[in-house]
Amino acid sequence: MAVRRPYVRPFEPGWWRRNPYFVRYMARELTAPFVGLYALILLSGLVCLALGRAPYEAWVAILRTPASLVLHGVLVAIFAYHSFSWFAIMPKTMPPVSIGGHRIGAAAITLAGLVAAAFCMLAAWFVVQAVA
Amino acid sequence: MSKRSNQPVYWALFGAGGMMSALFGAGLAFMTGIAIPEGIGPGAALSDYDRALAVVHSLPGRLFLFAVVTLFLWHAAHRVHHTLPDFGLRQGTLAWLGCYGVALAGTLVAVLALFVAGF
């Protein structure tokens, strides 16, 4: 009698370390916990703001500590890497777009994304400066 | 009829959060984490309680902050959850709570905080 031997796909943790292409994939993926961390920091500020003047001033005092400044410097760098990697893979993650019968190239899509990001960040900076 | 997958919802939130953080993330982290404590540009205004509260009281400020906090959380939750097996971690209940549970709780806290902050 034949013994059933189903194929089990080999899978081991850390499979991505063997190939630089997949190491870059993992570098992209690992920006995510930092995006989440920043969201929680911002949320804590929002909660402090809702609770009143003293809690909000305590939150700002924590932001002034050297540890927080270093952490946010790291976060800025990781967010910048996220922007670059997000728009670098966007030609593959978005549906093809054609203008006048010509398909828009990968480099143009990436460049458009980065220009949009630069515009959004500068706009946010100057809008908040103007209204706050 | 088979049960419909809820994956498209998670994926849409992941995509929206990824785009939002790619467009604004570095600038926002600089604004709140470096410009506020150092008093640079808009950071000087945002370090003041009354002026920060005024931003949250404005409809655009309120919507933008809510979108940033919640979409960033759902983006992170989905991406971290899908990366767990690559590190040999199981996608069990605990992993679900640690990822999507945190995003859900954060969304509820954000709604509550925006109500408590007043209008």
pLDDT confidence bin for B68, thresholds 50/70/90: very high
Mean local confidence (pLDDT), B11-40: 97
Q: Are residues A58 and A35 in the same domain?
A: yes
d(CA B24, CA B90): 32
Q: What is the pLDDT of residue A71?
A: 98
Percent of chain B residues past pLDDT 70, beyond the cut: 98
Residue extents of the structural domains in chain B: 8-117
Q: Does A94 lie at the interface with B, CB-CB under 8 angstroms?
A: no
pLDDT confidence bin for B6, thresholds 50/70/90: confident
Q: What is the CATH number of the domain that holds A50?
A: 1.20.1300.10
Report yes or no on A4 lying in a domain. no
Q: Are residues A25 and A69 in the same domain?
A: yes
Mean local confidence (pLDDT), B113-119: 94
Q: What is the pLDDT of residue B1?
A: 55
Give the amino acid at B83: T
Q: Are residues A44 and A107 in the same domain?
A: no
Q: Are residues A29 and A60 in the same domain?
A: yes
Q: Does A57 lie at the interface with B, CB-CB under 8 angstroms?
A: yes
Under 8 Å between Cβ of A59 and A44 = yes
Report yes or no on A98 lying in a domain. no
B55 has a pLDDT exceeding 90: yes
**Higher pLDDT residue, A86 or B3?**
A86
d(CA B80, CA B9): 16
Nearest alpha-carbon partner for A60 in A48, A75, A72 = A48
Report yes or no on A85 lying in a domain. yes
Q: Is B49 helix (H, G, I), strand (E, B) or coil?
A: helix
Q: Is A42 helix (H, G, I), strand (E, B) or coil?
A: helix
Q: What is the pLDDT of residue B110?
A: 98
ipTM of predicted complex = 0.95
Q: Are residues A78 and A130 in the same domain?
A: no
Report yes or no on A75 lying in a domain. yes
| pLDDT tens by residue, chain A, 132 residues | 678 889 988 888 888 888 999 999 999 999 999 999 999 999 999 999 999 999 999 999 999 999 999 999 999 999 999 999 999 999 998 888 888 888 888 999 999 999 999 999 999 999 999 988
Nearest alpha-carbon partner for B25 in A63, A62, A75, A44 = A75
Nearest alpha-carbon partner for B60 in A127, A56, A14 = A127
The CB density around residue B24, as the number of other CB atoms within 10 Å, is: 22
Residue A117, domain extent: 103-132
Q: Are residues A75 and A109 in the same domain?
A: no
Alpha helices (H) in chain B, listed in sequence order: 7-30, 36-38, 42-46, 49-57, 59-83, 93-96, 102-116
Q: Are residues A80 and A132 in the same domain?
A: no
Q: Which residues of B touch A14 (CB under 8 A)?
A: 86-88
Token readout for A4 is 């059933």
Q: Could B30 and A76 be called an inter-chain contact, meaning their C-beta atoms sit closer than 8 Å? A: yes
Q: Are residues A67 and A107 in the same domain?
A: no
Q: Is the pTM of this model over 0.90?
A: yes
Under 8 Å between Cβ of B102 and A33 = no
Report yes or no on A123 lying in a domain. yes
Report yes or no on A66 lying in a domain. yes
d(CA A31, CA A26): 9
Tally of structural domains, chain A: 2
Which CATH number fits the domain B8-117, given the four candidates 1.20.1300.10, 2.40.30.170, 2.40.30.10, 3.40.50.300?
Answer: 1.20.1300.10
Nearest alpha-carbon partner for B23 in A80, A126, A61, A130 = A80
Q: What is the pLDDT of residue A1?
A: 63
Q: Which residues of B touch A87 (CB under 8 A)?
A: 22
Under 8 Å between Cβ of A109 and A91 = yes
Q: Does A88 lie at the interface with B, CB-CB under 8 angstroms?
A: no
Under 8 Å between Cβ of B17 and B72 = yes
